[in-house]
Structure 1
Amino acid sequence: MTVVADKSILLVEDEAILALYEKNQLEQGGYKVTHVPSGENAIRLVMQDENPFDLILMDIDLGKGLDGTETATHILNHKEIPIVFLSSHTEREIVKKTESITSYGYVVKNSGFTVLDASIKMAFKLFEANELTKSKKEHLETVLHSIGDGVIATDKEGKVIRINPVAEKLTGWSHDDGLGLEINKVFNIINVKTRHKVDNPVDIVLKTNSVVALANHTVLISKDGAEYQISDSGSPIKDLNGETKGVVLVFRDITAEYNVQSQIAKQANMLNNVLDAVIGTDFTQKINYWNKAAEKIFLWKAEEVIGENILEVLKTKYLNFTNQEIIEKVNLEGSYIGEAIQEAKGGCVRNIEINLVLLNDEFDLPTGYIFVARDISDRLKALNQIKESEAKLTQIIDSAMDAIISIDNTKKIILFNGAAEKMFGYESDAIIGKSLDQLIPINFRSQHDKHIDQFSKTGVSRRAMGALGEISGLRANGEEFPIEASISQITVNGESLFTVILRDVSVRTLSESKIQKLLHEKENILKEIHHRVKNNMSSLFTLLTLQAKSQNHEPVQTILYEAAGRIKSMIVLYDKLYHSETDNSVSIQNYFPSICSEIVSIFPKKVEVNLSILEEPIELNAKLLSSLGIILNELITNSMKHAFLEIQNPKINLNISKDNNILYLAYSDNGVGIPESISFQDTPGFGLQLIGMLTEQIEGKISIDRKNEPKIILELKL
Structure 2
Amino acid sequence: MTLVADKSILLVEDEALLAMFEKNQLEQGGYIVTHVSNGENAIQLIIIEDKPFDLILMDIDLGRGLDGTQTATEILNHREIPVVFLSSHTEREIVKKTETITSYGYVVKNSGFTVLDASIKMAFKLFEANELTKSKKEHLETVLHSIGDGVIATDSDGKVIRMNPIAEKLTGWTHDEAVGLTISEVFRIVNVKTRSMVENPVDIVLRTNSIVGLANHTVLLAKDGAEYQISDSGSPIKDLNGDTKGVVLVFRDITAEYNVQSQIAKQANMLNNVLDAVIGTDFNHKINYWNKAAEKIYIWKAEEVIGRSVMDVLKTDYLQLTSDQVIEKVNLEGSFIGEVVKFAKDGSIRNIEINQVLLNDESDLPIGYITVGRDISERLNAMNRIRESEAKLTQIIESAMDAIISVDQSKKIILFNGAAEKMFGYESTDIIGQGLDRLIPMDFRSQHDSHIDSFSKTGVSRRAMGALGEIRGLRANGEEFPIEASISQISVKGEKLYTVILRDVSVRNLSESKIQKLLHEKENILKEIHHRVKNNMSSIFTLLTLQARSQADTSIQTILYEAAGRVKSMIVLYDKLYHSETDNTVSLQDYFPDIFNEIVSIFPKNVEVKMDILEEPIELNAKLLSSLGIILNELITNSMKHAFNETTSAEIGLRIFREGKKLYLEYSDNGVGIPESVSLEHSPGFGLQLIGMLTDQIEGKISIVRNPSTKFLLELTI
Q: TM-score range by the shorter chain?
A: 0.3 to 0.5
Question: What TM-score, normalized by structure 2, do the two folds share?
Answer: 0.46
Question: What TM-score, normalized by structure 1, do the two folds share?
Answer: 0.46
Max radius of gyration: which structure? 1
Q: Which has the higher contact order (CA 8 A, sep 6+)?
A: 2
